[in-house]
Amino acid sequence: MIILIVFAFIAGLVTILSPCILPILPIVLSGAISGGKKRPLGAVSYTHLDVYKRQATNNANEQLITMAQQKLGDEKQEIKTDLDNKRREFEKLVESVQKELRDNDKTSQSIIQQIKDHEKITKDLSITTEGLRKVLTNNQLRCLLYTSRCV
């Protein structure tokens, strides 16, 4: 007897899956919604399905939100780490440029001082050269005026 009940139950399940039963499903389900004594045993109403659907959707949404927050948190941490690394590299670069500028400034000051020294030496040489020219010119004139031979 139990075997027959199990066999009938399995046959009912197979019947539900067959395409011939599809036109009858709206009638059975509408009777399930209306309730009352005419409601078939084991029929599930649409309101129960809606509740289950909403619960499943809410659970899926919560899981999706949790996964998205976790993913965004991981990406945020990666971005923060990357930004910190780039900031450190930028600070090192700025320090290097500042040091190079200080060294260049010292070199520039040294070059400017050397140029000033050379200008002073050039001016002194110019004055000395002009004096020597005058002396030489005076000597040549005296030599020409007083002697017939000048060396």
- Tell me the C-alpha distance between 6 and 4, whole Å: 5
pLDDT score, position 53: 77
On whether residue 123 sits in a domain, the answer given is no
On whether residue 125 sits in a domain, the answer given is no
pTM of full prediction above 0.85: no
Q: What is the average per-residue pLDDT within 42-69?
A: 75
- Count of domains forming the chain: 1
* Dihedral over alpha carbons 58, 61, 67, 69 (to 10 degrees): -100
The number of C-alpha atoms within 13 Å of 36 and in the hemisphere containing its C-beta is 4
**For residue range 118-144, what is the model confidence (pLDDT) as tens digits?**
999 998 888 888 887 887 777 776 676
On whether residue 9 sits in a domain, the answer given is no
Which range marks the domain in which residue 47 is found? 17-110
DSSP per residue over 66-112, as a string? Answer: HHHHHHHHHHHHHHHHHHHHHHHHHHHHHHHHHHHHHHHHHHHHHHH
- Tell me the C-alpha distance between 17 and 22, whole Å: 8
